[in-house]
Structure 1
Amino acid sequence: MNQTKIGTIQSMDVIKRTAEGFLLSDGQDEILLPHEQVDGEIEEIGEHVTVFLYNDRKKNPVATMFLPEVRLDAYGWAEVAEVVKNLGVFVNIGVDKAFLVSKDHLPLLKEVWPKEGDWLFVSLEKDKKGRVFAEPISEGEVLEDLEKAPENLLNETIVGRIYRSTKAGSFILTEEGYRGFIHPYERKTEPRLGETIEGRIIDVKEDGTLNISLRPLKQHSMDPDADQIYNYLVDHDGVMPFTDKSDPNEIRDTFKISKSAFKRAIGKLMKEDKVIQKQNQTVMKHND
């Protein structure tokens, strides 16, 4: 098997059935497709199949019809399967072999190395000896495929995974494909590479990237938002037609904050025993 094809998806023909599986050929090279790597059924010799080629745990080239997202030519999320001190971490891309992410591509501080169950955004790469390993996405590649975040996300809570860890701060990719940055001042402890975190958006920049805070909300927007809502109640005889069930657009039009920020502020006022909610209204306690 031509080693340049290992780590890629190929179209091949079934040329023979064997005790171990099926023998495939692309007209130049032949490779085994084990029975356990067949997706569905192969009906006949000559059938055309699409497979991913890799070296199994015994370093033998094999094919699988279960196509991984992570390849030589494509990035994807891979779960950390094992952490090996002084070597790196092994990630699972969806085949029956884990691939090494070298310690050279991990943070200098082992305290922020990934743990088992974390997720790294990686592609497959080859070294000079032709060995295949996994490597985290570079900053340049992130910026090439950037999803611009809309301005109305300000103060919203967002979930993402740490894909890069530096002295300047931590960088995340969110579920929506947005890129975010967490300054050291905006976190109590440094998150791990590959860790899934939840934070609050404190700035949407002109280029569509985000600044995110992991600090408790009460240190930022909760107090001003709660004060604004309480002042609104004071100005409206202690009653307002808004609750945590109200329409998000009506909340934004009135208070210029998101519904999630509104709910947090209302929760704070209720916890402080300043307001209650009843009959689709929020009421100051002394008006009850």
Structure 2
Amino acid sequence: MIDIGKFNELRFIKKTDPGLILTDGEKEVVLPYVHAPQEAEIGDNMHVFVYIHSDGRLMATTETPIAMVDEFAFLEVVDVNEQGAFLNMGIGKDVFVPEREQKRPMKVGQKYVVFLYTDERNERITASSRLTDFIDQDMHDLEEGDEVSLLIFDESDLGYSAIINQKYAGLLYHNEVFEDLQPGDVKRGFVKKIREENKIDLSLQVIGFRHILDLKDSLLLELQENGGIINLGDKSSPEEIYNQLKISKKAFKKAIGSLYKERLVLVSDDSVKLAPPSSEKIDQNAD
């Protein structure tokens, strides 16, 4: 069965004026010559993206779209009419967003996070910016501390809403984010907490003890690469720490505190230094 809006493995069976004819054994698909490999021979299997042309024919391309059916993506509006908007998929074929599927009226030249699906009535690739209708509410394969892929799609007074692993939705709180995020940004994140009704709190920092271990190694490397000193300390602002190290002040203080207890660093209000070997030996002998 051919999957519209996705890649398919189809067999090349003949040539026609419009292009190569491919099949899954039941239906035929046209691959225009402009997208066909010159070395293709009848009988070859081909990996192609399939969609429905405006005239109703099944068409194929070897180009890779920005997104496929059942995926969330950040796409640009290239045209608008009374029925809806058309977004660029990156393959010379635009995807239609009906007016009813627009959370806010779309404008040419603007980009929006949308979900791609096939319209049950005509099997055409369609998109919607009403994302909550397509978000999975079942968190059975997520656990606190998991590393996840995030697609930022909205901002509120609380923080930034993000699509998690192309399935779920979660929130990055403003007071835990130290960079300017925009809809469409893709970030590595972590599941901080799964609350009642499967609401997910997210973080851009690694969660838990593993975070401190990772940060200790990173900070030691940073110190070694900067002559044994980092010009950040207890009185440095969260913004200063994030701008230089891309971590929160809380995480910075935990990691530095752990290194200090191991007598690996010296800490002041405005700097962290590698502890000299001699002072480490003296401290160890004193014990």
Given the two structures, how large is their TM-score scaled by the length of structure 2?
0.52
Check conservation: 2:146, 2:190, Cα contact below 8 A. no
What is the CA-CA distance between 1:33 and the residue it aligns to? 1.0
CA distance in 2, matches of 1:8, 1:171: 27
Q: Give the fraction of aligned pairs with identical amino acids, expressed as a percent.
A: 18
Go from structure 1 to structure 2 and tell me whether the alpha carbon gap of 1:118 and 1:198 turns closer, same or farther (over 3 Å shift): farther
Is structure 2 residue 240 aligned with structure 1 residue 245? no
Q: What is the match of residue 15 of structure 2?
A: 17
CA distance in 2, matches of 1:197, 1:53: 26
CA distance in 1, matches of 2:103, 2:82: 12
Given the two structures, how large is their TM-score scaled by the length of structure 1?
0.52
Go from structure 1 to structure 2 and tell me whether the alpha carbon gap of 1:11 and 1:161 turns closer, same or farther (over 3 Å shift): closer
| Counterpart pick for 1:262 among 249, 266, 269 | 249
CA distance in 1, matches of 2:25, 2:191: 56
Go from structure 1 to structure 2 and tell me whether the alpha carbon gap of 1:277 and 1:132 turns closer, same or farther (over 3 Å shift): closer
Spell out, residue by residue over 1:35-86, the C-alpha distance to the aligned partner (whole angstroms, 9 max, x if none): 23235841x21223343321346664311234658555x3243522436376
Check conservation: 2:87, 2:94, Cα contact below 8 A. yes
CA distance in 1, matches of 2:111, 2:132: 18
What is the CA-CA distance between 1:163 and the residue it aligns to? 4.3
Check conservation: 1:78, 1:93, Cα contact below 8 A. no
CA distance in 2, matches of 1:146, 1:91: 33
CA distance in 2, matches of 1:179, 1:265: 28
Go from structure 1 to structure 2 and tell me whether the alpha carbon gap of 1:159 and 1:274 turns closer, same or farther (over 3 Å shift): farther
Check conservation: 1:204, 1:210, Cα contact below 8 A. yes
RMSD over equivalenced CA pairs, Å: 5.3
Q: What is the match of residue 97 of structure 1?
A: 93
Go from structure 1 to structure 2 and tell me whether the alpha carbon gap of 1:247 and 1:183 turns closer, same or farther (over 3 Å shift): closer
Is structure 2 residue 166 aligned with structure 1 residue 173? no
Count of equivalent residues:
225
CA distance in 1, matches of 2:176, 2:21: 56
Q: What is the match of residue 218 of structure 1?
A: none
Go from structure 1 to structure 2 and tell me whether the alpha carbon gap of 1:209 and 1:102 turns closer, same or farther (over 3 Å shift): same
Go from structure 1 to structure 2 and tell me whether the alpha carbon gap of 1:247 and 1:182 turns closer, same or farther (over 3 Å shift): same
Structure 1 residue matching 2:219: 3-state secondary structure: coil
Check conservation: 1:165, 1:171, Cα contact below 8 A. yes
| Counterpart pick for 2:144 among 150, 161, 170 | 150
Q: What is the match of residue 126 of structure 2?
A: 133
Question: Which structure 2 residues correspond to residues 105-254 of structure 1 after superposition, within 5 A?
Answer: 105-108=101-104, 110=105, 116=109, 118=111, 120-126=113-119, 128=121, 131-136=124-129, 137-139=131-133, 141-144=135-138, 148-151=142-145, 160-163=150-153, 171-174=161-164, 179-181=169-171, 194-196=183-185, 204-206=193-195, 209-211=199-201, 245-246=219-220
Spell out, residue by residue over 1:78-121, the C-alpha distance to the aligned partner (whole angstroms, 9 max, x if none): 5224363765543334432110223322324x5xx688574635
Go from structure 1 to structure 2 and tell me whether the alpha carbon gap of 1:95 and 1:78 turns closer, same or farther (over 3 Å shift): farther
Go from structure 1 to structure 2 and tell me whether the alpha carbon gap of 1:14 and 1:275 turns closer, same or farther (over 3 Å shift): closer
Give the letter for the 1:62 counterpart.
Answer: M
Go from structure 1 to structure 2 and tell me whether the alpha carbon gap of 1:16 and 1:197 turns closer, same or farther (over 3 Å shift): closer
CA distance in 1, matches of 2:171, 2:50: 36
Unaligned runs of 5+ in 1: 215-241, 249-254, 267-272, 282-288
Go from structure 1 to structure 2 and tell me whether the alpha carbon gap of 1:263 and 1:107 turns closer, same or farther (over 3 Å shift): same
